Amino acid sequence: MTDILKNKSKVNFSVIHKFMFLEAPIEAVSAELITWGESSWWPQDCLWKYIRQTDGEIRVGTQYLIKINKPSAADWTAQVTQLLPKCLVERTFEKGLFNGFERITMEERANGTRIDYELHFKIRGLLNILMWPFLFRAQYVKTINKVMDALKDYVLEQVKAKYKE
């Protein structure tokens, strides 16, 4: 898997990296990460939402419109560029604020699953470049933290319910 991940890391992108550990089996986590952005657990008050633009199962080539929940914000587009069930999903940005990609990886551990979210990016547009360090970056990080917390709450609730059966 490291060979797959190395090919893009040579580009000079900035990186935002968040990770968490869930005491849950990878099977309980992987389906939720593949449907990232369009899952039932996605926070309703999230700064952005993913709208799938292609039919069928999520696969390499699946396209998304990423709607920003702010009146003057421009939407983004992204496409799934790597998908390995129970390992990773990667979406590459095609238009919008970012040049780059986001990658969510999962790794099974003896007592649960490690989840890593990475945003590899360069900012597009002069106004965005100026606003990123003062406003947009903090909003982005806050949103990712909210999303990761929602995922954690949902998965742990599902695992707990399964063991009560």
User: What does the domain layout of the chain look like in residue ranges?
Assistant: 13-164
For 59-160, strand residue ranges (E) read 63-68, 76-84, 88-95, 98-109, 112-123
Share of the chain above pLDDT 70, in %: 92
Cα 68 to chain centroid distance, Å, stands at 15
For 23-57, strand residue ranges (E) read 48-52
Regarding pTM above 0.85, the answer is yes
* pLDDT number for residue 10: 56
- Where residue 9 falls among pLDDT bands split at 50, 70, 90? low
Find out if CATH 3.30.530.20 is the number for domain 13-164: yes
